[in-house]
Structure 1
Amino acid sequence: MKRAIYLGTAFILVFLIASCTKDQINSDSSPLEKLSTDQSSSEYLSSDEQILEALNIEDKETKRAYVPGNQSSVYSISNETSANRVLVFNRNSDGTLTEAGSYHTGGTGTGEGLGNQGALTLSDNKIFLFAVNPGSNEISFFYIRGNGSLLLLDKIDSGGELPVSITYHRGLIYVLNSGGTGNIAGFAVNHHAQLFELSDSRKDLSSDMAGGAQISFNGSGKALVVTEKATNTITSYPVDAHGRPGMIHTFPSAGMTPFGFSFGRGNTFFVSEAAGGADNASTVSSYFVSNWGKVSLLDGPFATNASAACWVATTKNGLNLFVTNTGSNDVSSLVATKMGELDFGNDGNTTASDMSPIDAAVDHQSKYLYVLCGGDDSIVSYEIGEDGMLTQIDTESGLPDRASGLVVR
């Protein structure tokens, strides 16, 4: 299902979120039988290994955990109104992708752009996958087999309206609900390998209709960060020893319309600023968040001279970052020092992309970049070269319209 590389030129609206339609539905993605349990229990499993043990899966192939060198896969969600699915693409040794089916989440999507980053996330050891269901206000919990296929374990109400972003750290799962008044909510996995909501974990955003775009733990797992597009605010919360968020902190965004972000090493993170979609006005800024949830600006706003910069992906060392520009149909390569100072990579050149590049993800070896393109419903693969130079090597097309999120296992 490969097609020739196509360079799109049409201008796409700033917050268009798209892609992913594969017709194959795998039947072994049914949830495990529910067990009778006290979902209000404050005890939770704090590691992938503990959750895996609770599953008590006998099949050796199914139970095999992921390690680098085993099958690596790329995942996205279809975000369809009829039935949300996780779309799976296996990675080949040369970085190209091969379609590997799809798995029902048990929930639904919206069929519309979500204005988000982080619709899916992986557990610490890449054994489990968590996905949002924006249409049915739920989150889903999957086990990832050694061959990259999925087993649906559980789903649960997201604790708010329109869940768009999800994050995980040592057994804790937090979701950003951007609909209604907007909030965050926390979850964990109990000893029956089922999801439950943490008491006292719901926290409001800085204001109603804040336009939350993404949530993520910092590197230590002791703070949560949220970008708010409508209020131009970086919101953060400390996380206590019991996994509950503390008092909200707000910090004014250095650039207009803070959107997606990615953590580099430790507690430094990089935020794309779409500037309301204005032509050639996008910026990127770097920040530090302490373990007490306080945010400080390191550098920025750094002008990228691109349009509608909305998504950010970083290499493993946190020193190279890639920003997808939906409006100008290209990808910016930037470099960062260990102190968060920003500059252009790739000699200041952008890399042309297929129509409307949105979500992006880097593989664990930082050799390949994958970009979801909403304008022509595709995933484009790039090889990462010296100084962040990108060489397009593959295109996987025919994804469903309005797919969202991209993670690499």
Structure 2
Amino acid sequence: MQGRICQKLDKLQVVWSHGLLPVSVAVRDDLVYVLNAGGEGSVQGFRLHKDRLSPIEGANRSLGLHNGNPPAFMTAPAQVEIDPEGEFVLVSTKAANVMFSYEIGRDGELSRHPVISDAGNTPFGFTFDTEDTLLVTESGSNELSRFELEKNGELDQIGPSVPNGQQAPCWIQRIGDFFFVANAGSSTISSYKVDRDGKLVLVKAVAADTGGGSIDMTTSDGFLYVQNAAAGNVQGYEVGKDGSLELVTEVTGLPKFENGIGMEGIAAS
């Protein structure tokens, strides 16, 4: 397993997110959308040009959630994403139990009103498995669900939700044919796949025991990297052909998440 050590990050620009408490970013080509979780919650679109961001007129939309700032964790919106076709911006809301879909206009502006779809019990993280189907973690019921994204932005559930017997599934990442879910409440990783009949199935309830409050994941070169906030470490796993996970590297001594302060995200290039 090869890697590079980055000595430092160079700050290129600081821009206002046009909201309170930005928590998630979605990027596709030169379009960037930021999810603000504080207060009513909002989405703001930006155009990326030569390493600089500029806000897009008509791309700021309130979610109308009426939270505080900072919001309570389980009432805050969790993730923003752009569908693979680049037609919609989607937002998971957690406690509202719905997902918002905004149509993207020609210049990156967003539809004035979203399509709002029921998305299970506390929809948290999500990822697409095809151009028009996505998988959504249900943190409240400890399940994973699959939805079809219709042409009008509505989400229709495909088959039943699939439980994993773990606690508080949050983030989800895809590697090959497998989908890995971080269960923050039980400090484990579960694995799923969609079979040949299009049915969502649980492969392993516990594909890995991280032992430290796994709250976020990222992928690079076919490896899965898991941030364990409570333990203050990052673990790297090699993914087998059968979807099994083998721990191959670990970085320890990072700041532990205590009293609302600590690591809350991870990314890889």
Inter-CA distance 273–382: structure 2 relative to 1 (3 Å threshold): same
For structure 2, list consecutive stretches of 5 or more residues without a partner in the other structure. Answer: 68-74, 257-261
In structure 1, what is the Cα distance between the partners aligned to 2:109 and 2:220?
31
1:351 aligns with 2:208: yes
Inter-CA distance 344–198: structure 2 relative to 1 (3 Å threshold): same
Instruction: Give the AA of the match of 1:100.
Output: C
1:100 corresponding residue in structure 2? 6
Deviation for aligned residue 1:98: 6.3
Q: Is the 8 A contact 1:324 1:360 kept in 2?
A: yes
1:166 aligns with 2:21: no
1:118 corresponding residue in structure 2? none
Q: Is the 8 A contact 2:214 2:226 kept in 1?
A: yes
RMSD over equivalenced CA pairs, Å: 2.0
In structure 2, what is the Cα distance between the partners aligned to 1:340 and 1:183?
34
| TM-superposition CA deviations, 1:189-240 (whole Å, max 9, x none) | 34x6421111111111153235210000000111011100121111111111
Inter-CA distance 233–183: structure 2 relative to 1 (3 Å threshold): same
1:399 corresponding residue in structure 2? 254
Instruction: Give the AA of the match of 2:31.
Output: L
1:154 aligns with 2:19: no
Give the secondary-structure state (helix, strand or coil) at the position aligned to 1:230.
helix
In structure 2, what is the Cα distance between the partners aligned to 1:154 and 1:163?
16
For structure 1, list consecutive stretches of 5 or more residues without a partner in the other structure. Answer: 1-91, 104-150, 276-280
1:307 aligns with 2:167: yes
1:195 aligns with 2:53: yes
| TM-superposition CA deviations, 1:224-275 (whole Å, max 9, x none) | 1110012111111111111111130111122x11111122232322111111
Q: Is the 8 A contact 2:40 2:64 kept in 1?
A: no
Deviation for aligned residue 1:339: 6.8
In structure 1, what is the Cα distance between the partners aligned to 2:206 and 2:188?
10
TM-score normalized by structure 1? Answer: 0.59
Higher-Rg member (1/2)? 1
Q: Is the 8 A contact 1:261 1:270 kept in 2?
A: yes
2:114 to 242, 248, 252: 248
User: Identity over the aligned pairs, expressed in percent?
Assistant: 26
Q: Is the 8 A contact 1:174 1:184 kept in 2?
A: yes
Q: Is the 8 A contact 1:336 1:343 kept in 2?
A: yes
2:178 to 282, 296, 320: 320
| TM-superposition CA deviations, 1:125-159 (whole Å, max 9, x none) | xxxxxxxxxxxxxxxxxxxxxxxxxx432120001
1:288 aligns with 2:148: yes
Q: Is the 8 A contact 1:220 1:291 kept in 2?
A: no
2:81 corresponding residue in structure 1? 216
Q: Is the 8 A contact 1:283 1:304 kept in 2?
A: yes
Inter-CA distance 349–179: structure 2 relative to 1 (3 Å threshold): closer
Deviation for aligned residue 1:163: 0.3
